[in-house]
Structure 1
Amino acid sequence: MGRNLQSGERLRPVDLARGHGLSAQAVRNYEEDGILPAAGRTAHGYRVYTPLHARALAAFLALVPGHGHRTAAAIMRAVNEGADDEAFRLIDASHAQLLEDRRTLEAVEAALRDLAPVAVSEPGGVFIGVLARRLGVRPATLRKWERAGLVRPGRDPVTGYRVYDEAAVRDARLVGQLRRGGYLLERIAPLISQVRAAGGVEPLGGVLREWRGRLAVRGRALLAGAAELEGYVRARERAAGAQG
């Protein structure tokens, strides 16, 4: 906030907003949304905030990077309504999602390590039955992956049969690796899109490093948000004790 706030100090919306690069209207909106506790009013109807509101605003803004705006707002509303169990559930869900994302990244990295480059020796590619035998799946499974957009075979110009070139074989092998790891098709689709955008598996090293870096940033953000929220919860408890 850039100020040494004292207990009982009266603050205007602009006082809360200034230290965070927000507008006074944004602060008023946060109060109306329940992110901040209800403000007092002067005899002329002007809002009066306190250091407790400043702690609430700081907590909310610290929660956003790790939880996202919607969940951070829900956490603050739950705390302000005294529904601590709901707030903790929402926090736990964000941590669980981060853990699941880490496991997905690890599965992807493992699948790519096991995916040694294999050239298609047959001119023009391989037919569905040949590829199905190589992967240990049924042709129907390959057709299902195709309908999900995960594998894109071409067509033989004479027979109209599906033909899988090197890129299609690569995608099918990667899908097979991840399916054996227990991942659903909808979870695999974003990775296949990244492989295609990168032009193959090899350039994905940088993508995976960036992915791991983003997870680390989220983890630190969750810690920072928890610290600010704990400070706000303690301030609320002190304020309630003083009023009691």
Structure 2
Amino acid sequence: MGKNLQSGDRTGPRLRPVDLAREHGLSTQAVRNYEEAGILPAAARTPHGYRTYTPLHAGALRAFLALLPGHGHPTATAIMRAVNEGAADGAFRLIDESHAQLLDDRQTLRAVESALRDLDLEPTTRTDPGDTFIGPLARKLGIRPATLRAWENAGLVHPHRDPRTGYRVYDEAAVRDARLAHQLRRGGYPLERIAPLIAHVRTAGGLEPLEAALTDWHTRLSARGRAMLSGAAALEAYLRERG
């Protein structure tokens, strides 16, 4: 429960929940929810129990909404809670972790692009429809058949079974997935991180349609980076207001 407040205090004039909400197109309930979540400092109360806010609360709301696009709701919430609890170092650590995640995502994107370039430099030549068995494919990639079986268990490649012999048969798409997995493993990426990337290739319908997805990926990473800059500026302004 916030303190009682008859008029504006040292942080500025008294504001109603609707005053904060209207600036950002929010509902008054959303503003109250943000206060209860610790995103805003505790509100003062009138003698009749109504919440009253100040420009400091407005600054907190602006900072939170600016942090959201770059850091996401859970992290932005945790940052604001830490600041409002006087634990600025904890907030800075959370921001550092978000930047580290963005850098990691950029490195993953570069690895995927590198792997795709390597695949493009190795066009498949064949006289058959492209089907191959585990032994020949393993030899071509320079790995053991057991490695291909492990990749299958991890969801990286999906060979089908010959109905007569039960042997694994790798069609053109499975060979492509195996080659992509091989390039990424050579780049040091663990299986659990490779699986969703190969799933993305499958969803795109192959390597060529993935070009647009990679461009979009670049755009989204750049937007996150810029959003983090905007969020940092708004948070710095709020920190100055807090004194």
- Please tell me the TM-score bracket, short chain as reference: over 0.9
The residue aligned with 1:169 is: 175
- Residue identity in the other structure for 1:102: R
The residue aligned with 1:181 is: 187
* Residue among 84, 87, 94 paired with 1:90: 94
Residues 30-80 of structure 1, C-alpha deviation per residue, up to 9 Å, x if partnerless?
111110001111111111100000000000000000000110000000000
Q: Secondary structure at 2:169's aligned position in 1?
A: strand
The residue aligned with 2:204 is: 198
Say whether residues 1:43 and 2:47 are aligned partners.
yes
The residue aligned with 1:236 is: 242
Distance 1:119 1:157, change over 3 A: farther
Query: Is residue 130–residue 172 contact of structure 2 (8 Å, CA) maintained in 1?
Result: no
Say whether residues 1:130 and 2:129 are aligned partners.
no
Say whether residues 1:214 and 2:216 are aligned partners.
no
TM norm structure 2: 0.92
- Residue identity in the other structure for 1:146: E
The residue aligned with 1:104 is: 108
Which ranges in structure 1 are unaligned for 5 or more consecutive residues? 1-5, 238-244
Query: Is residue 120–residue 166 contact of structure 1 (8 Å, CA) maintained in 2?
Result: no
Regions of 4+ moved over 6 Å:
none
Distance 2:187 2:236 in 1: 38
Which ranges in structure 2 are unaligned for 5 or more consecutive residues? 1-9
How many residues are treated as equivalent by the alignment? 232
Distance 2:22 2:220 in 1: 29
- Residue identity in the other structure for 1:76: M
Displacement after TM superposition at 1:205 (Å): 0.8
> 1:14-163 to 2 correspondence within 5 Å?
14-116=18-120, 117-123=123-129, 125-163=131-169
Q: Percent identity?
A: 74
Distance 1:149 1:65 in 2: 32
Q: Secondary structure at 2:119's aligned position in 1?
A: coil
The residue aligned with 2:6 is: none
Query: Is residue 124–residue 163 contact of structure 1 (8 Å, CA) maintained in 2?
Result: no
Query: Is residue 119–residue 166 contact of structure 1 (8 Å, CA) maintained in 2?
Result: no
Displacement after TM superposition at 1:123 (Å): 4.8
